Amino acid sequence: MARISTRKQLAGLAAWIALMLAVAVLGAVASVNASGFYQSLTQPAWAPPAAWFGPAWTTLYTLMAVAVWLVWRRSGFRGAPKALTLFLVQLVPNALWSWLFFVWHLGAWSFATVVLLWLMILATLISFLRAHRLAGLMLLPYLLWVSLAVALNYTVWQLNPVALG
């Protein structure tokens, strides 16, 4: 492992945080009017309160930024191309889901996207575990939250076929 200067490590951390902030903003833009739409939908009894989503995603994006930085810091893109590429690619369905569900009201497409996201997170987590154990473990809450999102997306879609046709 090549030694990375402290300055480059901090710049890398800032870059990963900035990337995660950009992804979060993309989702937030799609979710600006989500509250009214989401509250109008029939929800299962086990659905988390809407107020949990913001803090949960803030925590998850922070964990993701630190996890990807740990992998990058240890190995760089040359040392962990699969892990870092998987991480970057999984950000696409992550950002796209909010648009599919909250803006375009596409239940089937949002469900397919969240399932794809779940599979990509699992692959990323496994790759991260191989590159940096702590980084992989830091993605576990993300996988668990998206597991809930898969079940919730499917159930809400099925309970609201007109709104999410």
C-alpha dist (Å) from residue 60 to 3, 74, 156: 28, 21, 23
C-alpha dist (Å) from residue 121 to 41, 46, 109: 27, 23, 18
Measured in whole angstroms, how far is the alpha carbon of residue 56 from the centre of its chain? 11
Measured in whole angstroms, how far is the alpha carbon of residue 79 from the centre of its chain? 23
pTM assigned to the model: 0.95
At a CB cut-off of 8 Å and minimum separation 6, what does 115 contact? 150
Per-residue pLDDT of the chain (165 residues; tens, 9 = 90+): 557 789 999 999 999 999 999 999 999 999 888 888 999 999 999 999 988 999 999 999 999 999 999 999 997 899 999 999 999 999 999 999 999 999 999 999 999 999 999 999 999 999 999 999 999 999 999 999 999 999 999 999 999 999 998
For residue 96, give the amino acid letter: L
73 within 8 A of 9, measured Cβ to Cβ: yes
99 within 8 A of 30, measured Cβ to Cβ: yes
